[in-house]
Structures are given as structure tokens and as C-alpha cells.
């Protein structure tokens, strides 16, 4: 098979992005872009699964192994769910076509980043994944608060990208190669440790892990909730794959990576979970929740190859219910009081939100439980007992603020209650996200076996 044909999923999504820019003009329908792009993304996911693993391609600059194939399929499917919701609800403005195109371009970057095995490809695909996200976060041009949050996101992301690029240049200078396979030559000297630290700074910022998380609450709180639903989930899957691959590539460099990952994990879990408690805005609550979940992922990444695979699986396990919660916030309002009485207005969605939030806590049989179990088991096998104890404790602590959301949904009273207009595409998107949250937990073993993943 031609190597270019192996990138058919990315090419399909790219074609969809270009088509989205003109779809509404051609068809005269304001949401035509999303209606066309959603099934195209599903096709891309199916093609990625059919292509499967193919090893290194393009002189080893990309590789289609089990982890990257799983990530490609997950990114394309989550993009499809988001687009399907947009086809029914729009993006809260008049420029839905541009938002669809930006999201699809970001997904192309994420899919390439998941397959990258070269530092140059990694950096280019990383920027392709994040640059459209800047625009999505500041999508409402007349919203000063949203523009402020997007500007913070842009400035910190650009700064950390430059720091990461500096670290990549050190790694290239030491190893003499941009291939991941040659990064083992980066020794444990001062320059090598700086290279690793600088690279991790960039990845920590992309994953909104502490202490590089400061942009996250303000950016999420100011941006449209529908944009947050995408930016906070899909690009992070690719970021986790890149983190895992680079950690494995740098593994020969003493204990520098492990120390940095564990410190970042501890800070993220503590800051994220404790700061989420006083929040009354769903977007800020989910922002700090994302910081905490990044901490769990960093813990797994420090636990060797088994932990790395578990981290990628958990990135998907987190993304599915998190996207659903933020899409619901886009419809109902993002203050916790806006969700009051949801059980009376929309009982099916209210009970679906129970599934999503219990998964984020890590309650069986939802996928979040299986994801945390695999990560914590890998960390225990690696001897990281003390920090696993902290992670389990913080998971219990997180139940407090997640149940605060459920309390509002089932027991709150909303004086100005309004019933959301029915949207069949949005309902289908919610149903799909709920089914995946349950199915990935109950059928995790067959799914992972299909992709050849082992913990």
C-alpha cells in the first residue's frame, strides 16, 4: 500500500476542513459544514481502524503502531461526536462553518502528532493541533472576557512552545538526530537534563498540568462552552501520546524524567482537585478537573511502558464524559445554578450526566474506573506506592465537587427554568457519548485486544 494512502484518515479530515469553509455558501444552510463533516469523520475513524498497524512510514518519521492507531480512531470519533452536536446546536454564533474547519484542522494535527516519530514532525503537528484551538477559545469577537482568556492561552502556549523547541534543539545537538529512536543518546549530563526539562515544560502546558495550568480556568471560563468541549479533550489525547512516546525515547537519561513527572503529577492532583471545590462555574470546575486528571496521566507516564499505554487509554476515558458535560453546559448554561432542575426538564440527559460524572470519579462499571485501575496498577508495579495512595485519595476527594454538580441537577430549583429546544443530532451525540462511556468500561478488554494494546 502506498505510504500516502496510509494517511487517508488525515486526508479525509483535511478535505472535510476545506469543504467546511465553503459548505454553507454552496448549500445555503448555515450548519451544512457540520452535517457534512460529521459522517466524514466517522469514515476517517473506520478507515484508520481498517488500515491498522503498519510500522514506520515516510522514512520512519511517522509510525502506525497500536497506540497511534488507537489514538487516531479516538480523535476522529470524538471529532465526529462534537460535529454531530454542532450540526444540531451550532456554536453559539453565526460562523459555525469556520469553527468546524478549525476543529478539523486541529484534529489533523492531533492525528499526525499521535503517529509522529520525529522531532520536526512532532513540533509542526503540535502547532497545527493547537493554533486552531486559540481561535476557537476566542471565537466570540465581541466577548472581552473570552478574548482575554484566549490571549492568556495563546501567550503561555507560545512561550512554552518556544521553550520546548529550545529543548528539542538541545536533544538534536546531543544525539545528532531528530528521530525518536536516537534520543536514547541524550545523556544524563546538564545539557541532557535541560533538554528533557524544556521538552516536558511544553508538554505540561499543552496538557494544562501544574505548574503550567494558570491559563486554563480563565480561558475556559471566557470561551464558549462548545469550544471548551473540543479544546479540552481532543487535542489532549494526541498530547498524551506524544508525552508517552518521548518519555520512552528519553528513558535512558537517569531518573530526571521520572522525578519531573512525579512532581508534576503531585502538584496537578493537589491543585486541580482542591481548587475545583469552590468553583460555581462549570467551565472553571472542569478546568481544574482537567488539571487533576493530567496529574493521574503523568503518574502513569512515569510508570514505564505499561503505564504509558494506560495513560493513553485514560486520556480517551477522560475525554468522552468531559466532552459530554461541557456540551450540556453549552445548552443549559455554565453556572451550576443553571443546571438546577435538569432532572425535571430533561430526565434522560440528567441520568446520562450521572454516568458521565461517575466515570470521571472512577466508579465501576464506567470507563473511568477501568482507566484509573490500569494506571494505578502500572504505577504500583513500578514501585510508586506513596503517590498512588495520593492519587486514590484525590480521586475520592474529587467526588465532592462532581456530586455538587449532580446535587444541582437533581435537587436544585431554577426559578427561570427554560426547556431547551429539542435537537435530534444533539440527542444522538449525547447518546453516543453515554454508550461509549459505558461500553469502554464493560467491554474494555475486547476493545483493547482489537487494537493490540496490553497493560
Chain position carrying cell 452536536: 85
In this prediction the pTM is: 0.94
Q: Computed over its alpha carbons, how large is the radius of gyration of the chain?
A: 21
304: left (phi over 0), alpha (psi -120 to 50) or beta: left
Helices (H) and strands (E) in the chain, counts: 19, 2
**Which three-class secondary structure string do you get for 320-380?**
HHHHHHHHHHHHHCCEHHHHCCHHHHCHHHHHHHHHHHHHHHCCCCCHHHHHHHHHHHHHH
CA distances for 140 relative to 149, 226, 282, 384, 392, angstroms: 11, 12, 19, 45, 39
Specify whether the CB–CB gap between 209 and 275 falls below 8 A: no
Contacts of 383 (CB under 8 A, 6+ apart): none
pLDDT per residue of the chain (455 residues) written in tens, 0 to 9 = 578 889 999 999 999 999 888 877 777 676 778 888 899 999 999 999 998 888 888 888 999 999 999 999 999 999 999 999 988 877 655 567 888 999 999 999 999 999 999 999 999 999 999 999 888 888 777 777 778 878 888 888 888 899 999 999 999 998 888 898 888 777 767 788 888 889 998 899 889 998 888 888 888 888 888 889 999 999 999 999 999 999 988 876 657 788 889 999 999 999 999 999 899 999 999 999 999 999 999 999 988 877 889 999 999 999 999 999 999 998 888 888 888 888 888 899 999 999 999 999 999 889 999 999 999 999 998 888 999 999 999 999 999 999 999 999 988 776 565 556 678 888 999 999 999 999 988 888 888 887 777 76
Find out whether 51 and 6 touch, Cβ atoms under 8 Å: yes
Please report which helix (H) or strand (E) contains residue 13, including its range: helix 8-27
Is the preceding omega at residue 116 within 30 degrees of 0, hence cis?
no
- Asked whether 356 and 428 are in contact (CB, 8 A), the reply is no
In 3-state terms, what secondary structure has residue 279? coil
- Whose CA is closest to 292, among 253, 323, 266? 266
b/e per residue 342-366 (b: at least 16 CB within 10 A): bbebbeebbebbbbbbbbbbbbebb
The residue to which cell 473511568 is assigned = 368
**Would you mind telling me the total number of residues written for the chain in this entry?**
455
Amino acid at each position: 500500500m502506498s505510504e500516502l494512502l496510509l494517511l487517508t484518515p488525515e486526508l479525509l479530515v483535511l478535505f472535510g476542513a476545506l469543504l467546511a469553509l465553503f459548505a454553507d455558501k454552496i448549500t445555503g444552510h448555515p450548519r451544512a459544514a457540520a452535517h457534512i463533516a460529521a459522517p466524514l469523520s466517522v469514515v476517517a475513524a473506520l478507515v484508520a481502524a481498517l488500515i491498522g498497524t503498519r510500522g514506520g512510514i515516510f522514512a520512519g518519521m511517522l509510525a502506525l503502531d497500536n497506540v497511534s492507531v488507537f489514538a487516531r480512531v479516538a480523535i476522529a470519533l470524538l471529532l465526529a461526536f462534537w460535529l454531530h452536536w454542532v450540526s444540531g446546536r451550532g456554536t453559539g454564533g453565526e460562523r459555525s462553518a469556520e469553527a468546524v474547519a478549525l476543529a478539523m484542522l486541529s484534529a489533523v494535527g492531533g492525528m499526525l502528532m499521535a503517529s509522529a516519530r520525529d522531532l520536526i514532525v512532532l513540533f509542526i503537528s503540535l502547532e497545527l493541533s493547537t493554533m486552531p484551538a486559540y481561535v476557537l477559545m476566542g471565537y466570540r469577537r465581541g466577548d472581552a472576557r473570552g478574548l482575554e482568556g484566549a490571549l492568556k492561552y495563546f501567550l503561555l502556549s507560545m512561550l512554552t512552545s518556544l521553550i520546548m523547541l529550545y529543548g528539542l534543539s538541545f536533544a538534536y545537538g546531543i544525539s545528532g538526530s531528530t528521530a525518536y529512536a536516537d534520543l536514547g543518546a541524550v545523556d544524563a549530563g546538564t545539557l541532557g537534563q535541560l533538554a528533557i526539562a524544556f521538552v516536558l515544560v511544553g508538554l505540561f502546558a499543552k496538557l494544562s498540568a501544574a505548574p503550567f495550568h494558570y491559563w486554563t480556568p480563565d480561558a475556559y471560563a471566557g470561551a464558549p462552552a462548545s469550544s471548551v468541549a473540543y479544546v479540552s479533550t481532543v487535542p489532549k489525547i494526541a498530547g498524551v501520546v506524544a508525552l508517552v512516546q518521548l518519555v520512552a525515547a528519553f528513558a535512558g537519561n537517569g531518573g530526571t524524567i521520572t522525578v519531573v513527572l512525579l512532581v508534576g503529577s503531585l502538584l496537578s492532583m493537589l491543585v486541580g482537585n482542591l481548587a475545583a471545590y469552590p468553583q460555581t462555574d462549570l467551565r472553571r470546575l472542569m478546568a481544574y478537573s482537567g488539571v487533576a486528571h493530567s496529574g493521574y496521566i503523568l503518574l502513569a507516564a512515569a510508570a514505564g511502558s505499561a503505564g504509558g499505554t494506560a495513560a493513553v487509554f485514560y486520556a480517551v476515558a477522560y475525554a468522552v464524559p468531559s466532552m459530554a458535560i461541557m456540551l450540556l453546559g453549552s445548552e443549559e448554561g455554565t453556572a451550576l445554578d443553571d443546571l438546577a432542575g435538569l432532572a425535571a426538564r430533561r430526565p434522560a440527559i440528567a441520568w446520562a450526566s450521572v454516568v458521565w460524572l461517575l466515570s470521571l470519579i472512577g466508579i465501576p462499571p464506567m470507563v473511568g474506573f477501568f482507566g484509573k485501575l490500569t494506571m494505578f496498577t502500572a504505577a504500583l508495579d513500578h514501585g510508586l506506592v506513596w503517590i498512588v495512595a495520593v492519587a486514590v485519595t484525590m480521586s475520592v476527594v474529587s467526588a465532592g465537587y462532581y456530586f455538587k454538580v449532580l446535587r444541582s441537577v437533581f435537587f436544585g430549583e431554577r426559578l427561570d427554568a427554560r426547556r431547551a429546544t429539542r435537537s435530534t443530532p444533539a440527542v444522538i451525540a449525547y447518546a453516543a457519548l453515554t454508550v461509549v462511556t459505558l461500553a469502554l468500561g464493560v467491554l474494555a478488554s475486547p476493545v483493547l485486544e482489537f487494537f493490540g494494546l496490553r497493560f
